Amino acid sequence: MAAANPFATRFTRPGRIAPLDAAGRPVDLSALLDRLDAVGGRAAIEGSHGSGKSTLLIRLHDLAAARGGLSVLHRLGAGPWRDAAVAITAVLWASPAGLVFLDSWERLGPVARWATRLAARRRGCRLVVTSHGPAGLPVLTRCQPSVDMLLAIVRELPEAASWLGPVVGDHDIREAFARHAPNIREALFDLYDLFEERRGGRQPSGS
């Protein structure tokens, strides 16, 4: 059995898990960056809570940086005024070839969103945001959680060969998704608790 709970946040937090599509297959990050240019350089990643938007945004930022591009990533949530200042400043300081990634776009008020879009357009920089709903930008992609996605995530967690089946099985994973769908993050929290309970000596109910 794994020495540490494989569902711990250090293994499952945004950016640690490879972005997957609804079928549980790796997302083609290069194709998404190419699509960004095709839709005008400014777009949104849409999806429900816990659907993998932040993970996808982080991995796109990492790829853009690895390509040698000038990119910055900001996670909003410090408060309306500070978030507005962070977003607009990031765009104004970006180079025309730069790329600004903003997580939790909906935390900006309507005026701040409008100002950020306008600044990006005038600056000529590219912009990618995450949003739960319509963002006033073309949709780059939509995160669509599924049980297949969750199954694929779990199979890639640390030391899965030692505990997947004997401790936590596919049946448990499917039940966790059914309880929390479409929130993958909450399903993983549920499986963390289940792993801890069963590691304490109780027998799994199924696999």
Burial of 176 (0-12, 13-18, 19+ CB in 10 A): buried
Q: In this predicted model, what pLDDT tens digit does every residue of 13-36 receive, in sequence order?
A: 998 999 999 999 999 999 999 999
**Residue 185 has which token pair?**
């993050």
Which tens digits make up the pLDDT trace of 93-151?
999 889 999 999 999 999 999 999 999 999 999 999 999 999 999 999 999 999 999 99
pTM reported for the whole predicted model: 0.92
The b-or-e profile of 12-37 (16+ CB within 10 A means b, else e) is bebeebbbbbeebeebebeebbeebe
User: φ, ψ for residue 197 (rounded to 5)?
Assistant: -60, -45
Distance, in Å, from the CA atom of 31 to the CA atom of 60, rounded to the nearest integer, reads 10
Query: If you average pLDDT over residues 41-66, what whole number do you get?
Result: 96
